[in-house]
Amino acid sequence: MASMVGVAWYDPSEWNALRRVAPDAHKLETTHAEWLIVAERGINDLAAAGLQPRRIPVKLAELLAWCDVHRRVPDASARAEFVSQELRRLHQAGLLTPNVS
């Protein structure tokens, strides 16, 4: 069985707010539409590599609360760890949606 991999999934309405608080905003796509193209390509690449990519919705308020608890800034590393923990939580709770690929 292929390994599941969480993929951060951002709502278009929160994209600009994420860019305002992310210390690495200069590395993020300028628009949500640009990010979506990159994210979809990443999902396809993960699936082609034999992994099971799962879209993990990221609500900015939840990410920032998690960062506060863990004394992290919402950079790429923290966002990835947050998504990984959410993937684990959803898997353990039986709440994962069917494969996205």
Three-class HEC string of the chain? CCCEEEEEEECHHHHHHHHHHCCCHHHCCCCHHHHHHHHHHHHHHHHHCCCEEEEEEECHHHHHHHHHHCCCCCCHHHHHHHHHHHHHHHHHCCCCCCCCC
Q: For the CA atoms of 81, 5, 92, 18, what is the dihedral angle to 10 degrees?
A: 40
Distance in angstroms (rounded) separating the CA atoms of residues 49 and 41: 12
Return the pLDDT at 98.
58
Q: Provide the pLDDT confidence category of residue 96 given band limits of 50, 70 and 90.
A: confident
Per-residue pLDDT of 38-74, as tens digits, reads 999 999 999 999 999 999 999 999 999 999 999 999 9
